[in-house]
Each structure stands twice: as structure tokens, then as C-alpha cells.
Amino acid sequence: MQAVRAFFEGVGFFFQGLRWTARHPRWWLFGLLPALVALVVYVVVLIFLGNRAGDIAVFLTPFADDWSAGLRDTVRTLLAVVIFGAGLAVAVLTFTALTLAVGEPFYEKLSEKVEESYGEVPSEDDTPWWRAIPRSIRDSLVTLCWVLLFTIPLFALGFVPVVGQTVVPVLGALVSGFFLTVELTALAMERRGMRRKVRFGVLRGNKATSLGFGVIVFLVFLVPLGAVVAMPVAVAGAAIMVRLRLVPAQASGTESPSVPQG
């Protein structure tokens, strides 16, 4: 029961981020800029994948050439759908990583502004942005390797009847959600001088909350244009979650009131 409460607490932090950006529309627009740039890239890639998913399915199933036309077409159509779905899921994850990397100065400023509305802003990490961006890209690549470690087996399980259509999508959302939280909380945690291994440890120690936040972000990002519109919301919500729940005042050494100032 405690885990369920923690899960929905994580969901709630996303809506706290939504409330913050609704109160500060100028900062929401500011956070849209990097996401719009990344969107153009991903739209082109996904259109290409959508047009080629059928060809990829044919290439992967040469053994089906001698099957009856109905069975062969059904299997290849399902495989094409799975391929595009996997590409879409990977796009959701890498969209966040790429957008945060490209928009590091933008989202760092947005995250700081969110924390500023709650009190003193931690400043234990004074790494300049031109050094922070390569480190962010490196951390994102490590995170992507972990994502692939989970998603490749899930992709294979997607072909198992019943399990592939029921259990796998749920597990996929949980895995994707957790690693979205890893990416989104990096800004606020790095501001506290916390490097990748420490950040992973904190999130594993607050698994239910991390999953709740990440899953709602993942689901919103699946909605067309949701990743663009909600990116500033997710960054704001992650900053609030780190400050109030994951690394509270007694751990970070800053005062964190329960409601924002101003």
C-alpha cells in the first residue's frame, strides 16, 4: 500500500510541474524552444521508419515466404507494427535525452527558476555549460545502453502470444518511465553535486515515486506533440520532486517550503 501511495505521489509531482508552468507561461514558452528543434528531427526519422517498417518486417521474416498469403501478411503486418511501436518508444526515450542535451542551458535555467520559487537554489555544481553538455551526452548514452538492455528482451517477448499484448506493454511503460525520470532529474541532482551513480542510487531507493513520475511522463509523451508541449512541465515537475521528495532539505542543505513562493 505504501508503494502505491508513493507511485501516485510521483504522478502528483508531474501535475505540480504543470501547475508551476501554468503560473509561469513565459518559462513554459522558453522551455519549448529546444523541444521544437528536436521534434523536427524525430518527425523525419519516424516518417521514414513508418514508410519502411513493412520492408524491414519482410527482411526479418524470410522463413515466411513459403507460408500461405494470409498468414504471411498477418505476421509481417504485426511485426511491422511492433517495429514501429518499438521505434516510437525509443524515440520517446531518446527525445528526452537529446532535447535535454541540446537544450541544456535552457532547461538548466528553467530548473533553477523552479527551485528559486521554492527558496534558496542549491549551487554545489559550478560546471560551465560547455563542459556540462558533453557530460550530459555521455550520461545519456550510458542511460540509453541500460534502456536497450531492458527493451531488447521486451521487444522479443512482444512476439509471444497474449504476453506480448498484455504484460510487455506494461513492463515497457515501467522501464521507459524509470529511465525518463533518470534523465529528467539529472539537472536538479547535478546542481547538488550528485553524479550518475549517486543519482541512480537515489532513484532506486525511491523506486515507486520515480516510476509514478516517469510513467505519467511516458504516457503524456506518447500523445502527438505531447513530448514537446509537456517537456517544460516534466522538467519543472522533476525539479520539484527532487527538492521536496528525493533530496529534501535535510539532505541538500537548503530550505524547501511545501508551497512555492510568489
Domain boundaries, the chain: 2-249
Q: Identify which has the larger pLDDT, 211 or 123.
A: 211
pLDDT in tens, 137-147: 777 778 778 87
pLDDT bracket for residue 130 (50, 70, 90): low
Query: Mean pLDDT across the stretch 3-28?
Result: 96
Closest-CA residue to 200 (of 244, 246, 135): 246
Burial group, residue 142, by CB count within 10 angstroms (0-12, 13-18, 19+): middle
Q: Are 47 and 84 in contact (CB under 8 A)?
A: no
Q: Identify which has the larger pLDDT, 32 or 86.
A: 32
How many Å apart are CA 39 and CA 92, to the nearest integer?
11
pLDDT at 251 > cutoff 50: no
How many Å apart are CA 23 and CA 259, to the nearest integer?
13
pLDDT in tens, 35-47: 898 888 889 999 9
User: What does the pLDDT read at residue 249?
Assistant: 56
How many Å apart are CA 111 and CA 185, to the nearest integer?
10
pLDDT bracket for residue 211 (50, 70, 90): very high
Query: Mean pLDDT across the stretch 94-120?
Result: 87
Q: Are 214 and 180 in contact (CB under 8 A)?
A: yes
